[in-house]
Amino acid sequence: MSLETPDKIRTLQKKLYFNGEGIDILHPASAHTDSDSFVFFRRSDVISTGDIFTTTSYPFIDLAAGGSIQGTIDALQKIVDMIIPVYGQEGGTMVIPGHGRLCDFGDVLNFREMTIIIRDRVRDMIKKGMTLEQVQAARPTQDYDPLYGSGDKFVEAVYKSLKGEK
């Protein structure tokens, strides 16, 4: 079933009831790949994100498999919108990333913000006419590299995604 969400993110959704729990399976268009999904376990209040969200590296955007930087950001936004946080303390909806530790609202929000910031930095460099090599040399991920490792492949994927390359 296809539905248009209020935030204009095109998402395929499947709802089912299993083992005494309502489960929503959502498939955002063109995130990490064009075949991603994340699963919301309603009674448990847990979201399993697959590789759309990880805590161990920058997002891996598989352009050849239909992934895109904007699709990744849109999927992360959808996950953020689904989370109900407990303000002033840890808790609320728990998030299981594709790789890494158990997370909460703040972790996903920080990851989404990092992704948006780097996309905007690369977009600005493209507008200035910079080549991929020049953008990589400018190190737009430098302040996040201690958390996620080298950002060269991520920057390349962002650059090519924004330029419409595969």
What is the domain count for the chain? 1
The SS3 of residue 21 is strand
Average pLDDT over residues 122-136: 97
Q: What percent of the chain has a predicted confidence (pLDDT) above 90?
A: 79
pLDDT at 74 exceeding the cut of 90: yes
Distance from C-alpha of 159 to C-alpha of 115, rounded to nearest angstrom: 13
pLDDT at position 10 is 54
Range(s) of the domain holding residue 61: 2-163
pLDDT tier, 91 (very low <50, low <70, confident <90, very high otherwise): confident
- Average pLDDT of the chain is 90
Beta strand residue intervals within 19-142, DSSP E: 21-28, 38-41, 46-50, 94-97
Distance from C-alpha of 25 to C-alpha of 119, rounded to nearest angstrom: 27
pLDDT at 139 exceeding the cut of 70: yes
pLDDT at 8 exceeding the cut of 70: no
Q: Supply the CATH number for residue 15's domain.
A: 3.60.15
